[in-house]
Structure 1
Amino acid sequence: MKTIQLFILALVLMAGDLFAQGFISDQITKNKDGIALEDSTFIGSWPMFGKGNVRMKIGGYMKNDFVYDVNGTRDKTQFLMSTIPVQGEADYGSTGYVSFFSKETRINLDVRSKVNNTPVQMFFEGDFFSSVGNQFRIRHAYIKVGGFTFGQTWTNLTFLETLPFIIDFAAGDALFGGRSNQIRYETNINKNWLFGASIEYLENMGIENPNTLNGVAQAQLPLVSMKFIYSKNNTKLFFGASAAQLHWTGGPEGKNASTPQLDVIFGGRRQIDKKNSVSFNVNYGVGSGENILAFIGSNANAVLTQEGELVAMKSFSALVGYTHHWNEKWSSNFSYAYGWLMDIPDSRDPFALKAGGISHVNLVWQPLKYFSTGIEYMRGAQRTANSSFGVANRVQFMTKFDF
């Protein structure tokens, strides 16, 4: 018995010595062909055996939301300015309701390689936040080759860094941008400056046709944009502009009409210290209200007049955010977003969104590495084209598992 114990002790000491020399650790981190199973530059990935130098990773999160809406806003899954009932509408003064859902849950696949020192990436992500039920929808589907990006992802002028963490899915009400199919190029000018340019598909013309004239809104030209990003120490600043064309095709019995769409945007983020950070985002545009997330789907770009002319509306949006970490596990976020349209034609739908603001404040607890939970209070207001006004309040609780 004593001999067996001594033998086991000798094996343990030998294994420790092998680990110290790196022999066994090499076997754990590499396969028989010497391919590394772990990569510190692509954490969580693994090699696609038989595919050469190709690695992949699965990521995403499971999120469960529990909502109590005080004033009966029309969307039970996200708090949007345009869904707040205003005076004069049938649902103004509605009672509150509860809503439980897991639609924001998402999953992604990230595949990367390097060919002749050129990085190559394929990224796909989807969630269940479709307009119909819990159907799966594509969020991102793009390929990156060096500095080029091809496919659907955030637009060139979507600066997500200006957003604090908000529990509500409509976190970026006054954020300019969204997702589009595009061809984009980005390059570092120097250690502080990055330049990006894109050609993007303008899917939503955002043209209101109050007189039901013949024809359809249709893209004839792509949107083009440029941006500059300045990064130094704990500060990041964004500058960008875009130009596009809004077009109405009248068909054989109608009249064709076009008008320019122009945008300028400025934003930034500052990490004050380890516990505090602030951010902001400001946009001004002509014929581009639909590029502001709060106005998506409200035909906020232009109005087609009785004479068949397109009248572009001016738009402005502003967003401020603040994040505070109470300690390693507790944090709070605050944001306020405001946007409005100007030069609105009299023929526009009287109950169409004209201006609105939404504020969010939350408390988030992360007791475990991959699990977090939190609660958020939000308050919003909407003013429509006929100056009707409405206010709404909502509380949202969530649980989230990131992987």
Structure 2
Amino acid sequence: MTTTTRFQTRPLVRAVALAGLPLVIMGSGSALAQGSELEELRQRVQQLESRLEVPAESKMEEENNYLRRDGNGIRIGNTTVTIGGFIKADVLAGSNGNGWENAYSVGLARSFANAAKNGESDWKTGFSARESRLSLATKTLDVAGHDLTTYLEMDFNQGADAPGNEVVSNSYAPRLRQAYGSWNNWDFGQTHTTFSDLAALPEILDQGKQAAFVYIRQPMVRYNMAAPGGKLLVALENPEDGFGSNSYDDQSYPDLVARYQLRNSYGIYSIAGLLRSLEDDAADETEVTGAVSVSARIPTVGRDDLRLQYNYGALGRYIGLFTYPDVDLAAQAGGDVKPLKTYGVTAAYRHHWNSSWRSNLSVSHLEIVDDLEASPAGTLSYFDTSTSVHANLLWSAHPKLTLGLEYAYWDFGEIATSSREQYEQVMGSATLRF
């Protein structure tokens, strides 16, 4: 329905009416002397006022019929576009000579373990803004009867050896994090694996760097459906059983992943299953294997919550940012595809001190279950257990601004020995969202 906006004092109308009053008087002859002619004059002024009124909606469409604000985004036709992201400025001091090579802020358990074993006692410091992100989201109404949404996200963590350096300009190229679209309960593209429960992800500054949390992204096709008490997600996802820069690319079948999530006033609970085919064309060997995961996010006192995750099976690249390979590398060198089974557990507690201050304590442990063909040649490093502890204090003066300080401790158990190596780091971070 068209609405009109009326000026309360009508200063413009009054000015125009008064300016035209002499003409009206001249045209009305002896109107001032006659009551009927005075009434006619009043009516003419009212007509002049009505002609100057413009319907609010019509005026807006007339000025800009294509581009307009719509909620939190910009509407272009039937599509709303939203730009988001954050600037994340980090400073890290790491023990044993680790200070973020080339400002690369994605620390791996293997790199921490190597630092722990290198014998240096000095702490090194590094600064980075490479975790900063830029995202673009869209929502288009009524695409074949359903809303169509898309999401594109980038950051600058290509790798420690990627073009760019800390010497002069700290120039780094963006990389693709997520790129997917959703329509009619289907997801197409690259996003977090269905095997990962982001609701149970601990809130730490060095995000994703727990010893045993499932935290990867990959291309997929996924269907989401309602289920009793929650939802069921089933996906075919990109298969891979390489390691580092060695990608075999000889998988015949996609990874099959399913997750059931229950959500109610008692928390968020999930169980997930993974079925995958590990193959080696050179040895003409194929092994079908899998893994399971259970997780929960449980509200406790006030705004506090407890986050839990347990994983078991041929987890390989899915867990701990690829701490261990998918197969025993020594066995594979001998022509045998032997899935490397591990288990991992993570527990984190978040406590709100008040509306602005909060703290998180996270403990995570990952361990190889199988006996190795040769140690440590069957893995990517010298250790078969890793344990991480993170403790932080965060201050959010505003939902758009968070400052934090975090301490992390890592412990690595050497294969076939009782020796252990330790690594520590202190990290400060400022996150400014837009």
TM-score interval w.r.t. the shorter chain? 0.7 to 0.9
**Cα 1:305–1:165, aligned 2, differ >3 Å: closer, same or farther?**
closer
Does structure 2 retain, via aligned residues, the 8 Å contact 1:155–1:179?
yes
What residue number does 2:360 align with? 333
**Cα 1:207–1:135, aligned 2, differ >3 Å: closer, same or farther?**
closer
1:4-403 maps to which residues of 2 (within 5 A)? Answer: 10=9, 33=65, 37-39=69-71, 44-48=72-76, 52-73=77-98, 76=101, 77-85=105-113, 89=117, 91-115=118-142, 116-131=144-159, 132=162, 133=164, 134-190=172-228, 192-206=229-243, 216=248, 218-250=250-282, 255-286=283-314, 288-296=315-323, 298-303=324-329, 304-305=331-332, 307-350=334-377, 351-387=381-417, 388-403=419-434
How far does residue 368 in structure 1 lie from its aligned partner after superposition? 3.2
How far does residue 382 in structure 1 lie from its aligned partner after superposition? 1.3
Q: How many residues align?
A: 367
SS of the residue aligned with 2:199?
Answer: helix
SS of the residue aligned with 2:363?
Answer: strand
How far does residue 9 in structure 1 lie from its aligned partner after superposition? 9.1
Does structure 1 retain, via aligned residues, the 8 Å contact 2:225–2:233?
yes
Relative to structure 2, which stretch is displaced further, 255-264 or 370-379? Answer: 255-264
Deviations 1:128-152 (A, max 9, x none): 0111243311000111112111111
Structure 2 distance, partners of 1:84, 1:165, is 20
**Cα 1:208–1:139, aligned 2, differ >3 Å: closer, same or farther?**
closer
TM-score by length of 2: 0.77
SS of the residue aligned with 2:207?
Answer: coil
RMSD across aligned positions (CA): 3.0
Aligned residue type for 2:317? E
SS of the residue aligned with 1:343?
Answer: coil
How far does residue 281 in structure 1 lie from its aligned partner after superposition? 0.5
Does structure 2 retain, via aligned residues, the 8 Å contact 1:289–1:314?
yes
Structure 1 distance, partners of 2:88, 2:345, is 28
Any stretches of 5+ residues in structure 1 without a counterpart? Answer: 1-7, 15-22, 210-214
If each structure's strand is expressed as a fraction of its own residues, which one has the higher value? 1
Aligned residue type for 1:128? F
Structure 1 distance, partners of 2:322, 2:300, is 32
SS of the residue aligned with 2:70?
Answer: coil
Relative contact order (alpha carbons < 8 A, sep ≥ 6): 1 or 2 greater? Answer: 1
**Cα 1:138–1:217, aligned 2, differ >3 Å: closer, same or farther?**
closer
**Cα 1:342–1:154, aligned 2, differ >3 Å: closer, same or farther?**
same
If each structure's helix is expressed as a fraction of its own residues, which one has the higher value? 2
Aligned residue type for 1:324? H
